[in-house]
Amino acid sequence: MSDLVSLPADFNPDLTLCGGQAFRWTPIAAAPSAAAYQGVVGDAVLTVVRADHGNWQVRLLNHPPTPTWRRRICAYFDLDRDYRAAHHLVVERLRRLSGTAAWTPTTDPLGAFFNQLAGLRLLRQPWFETLVSFVVSANNHLPRIRQIIDIISRTFGQPLGDDHYAFPTPEALAAADPATLRTVCRVGYRDRYLSRLAQQISRDRRFWEHAATLPTAALRQALRTLPGVGPKVAECVLLFGFHRWEAFPVDVWVRRALAILLGDPSPPSPAADRRRIAAVAATLGSVAGLAQQYLFELMRRRLITGSLSGNHRV
């Protein structure tokens, strides 16, 4: 059995692994002329490398490539989904929002760039790690978030060999001294949120073990009862941790992309902003989550005009 899992021909590792939905992946040099990416998923250490024929492939480094592990890797990269169809649906619905029958580089600033994003996939990540990561993400930028998650894993997670560490369990994080979280892990004021959040999940472990079976509305409500979890973090966890594609996280970049898309640059009142976001999410429907990641990437990569700085997820 091969120890490699092939990814689709259009898979884009930078968009997927380094675009703000996951924080355990690092670009590495696999060879003088080739890039690779290394990451930790649960208790698995993975590398994504480019094969001779050009496609990207995944190698599992610390477990034998059993059928069970291959299925887990396929699930993590969401390989059973038709992303070509999802891409076309995202573009169609964003076009509908803009009120533009056809996009060209001269008629709409977004239209020329969507095909560059077709290799983006939404990962099926461990939900507790995703929850902690997005609580940490508030008012933070991507390199710092990655650094904090790495330190938390090294401090409280199980070693996996070769200087890799699993993300800690809720119980391990619940037992952590908040002062250690603040000073060693550098989470700042979030120390009290992370400690209380992990303790609450540990107490309600049976509920959270079955949380993935809840309807989205009920799961959203449950997430928002956790310390440090507001509306935006809850949407991120729904999308990136529980793979609810109808979730629609809106940060400052997505909000500005929507202003360009809708042709309405003036900031609305908070109530009007909530109504507008709800209407956009309803129009995008089953591909809202993928659409918001497209909008985020358009702004992150400066593919549309805007005066922005830093790779924040705020």
| Closest by Cα among 191, 195, 188 to 173 | 195
Q: Round to whole Å and give the CA distance between 139 and 145.
A: 10
What's the confidence (pLDDT) of residue 34? 59
Q: Round to whole Å and give the CA distance between 80 and 78.
A: 6
Residue holding tokens 């959040």? 197
> What is the token pair recorded at 53?
């024929």
What's the confidence (pLDDT) of residue 5? 92
Q: 75: part of which helix (H) or strand (E)?
A: helix 67-76
Report pTM: 0.90
What's the confidence (pLDDT) of residue 253? 87
pLDDT in tens, 165-192: 999 999 999 999 999 999 999 999 999 8
What's the confidence (pLDDT) of residue 302? 67
What's the confidence (pLDDT) of residue 32? 53
Low-confidence ranges of the chain (pLDDT < 50): 1, 101-105, 306-312, 314
> What is the token pair recorded at 272?
């009007």
What's the confidence (pLDDT) of residue 308? 36
CA angle 187, 192, 195 (to 5 degrees): 90
What's the confidence (pLDDT) of residue 102? 47
- For residues 312 and 34, the answer to whether their CB atoms sit within 8 Å is no
Assign 4 to helix, strand or coil.
strand
Residue holding tokens 């073990």? 209
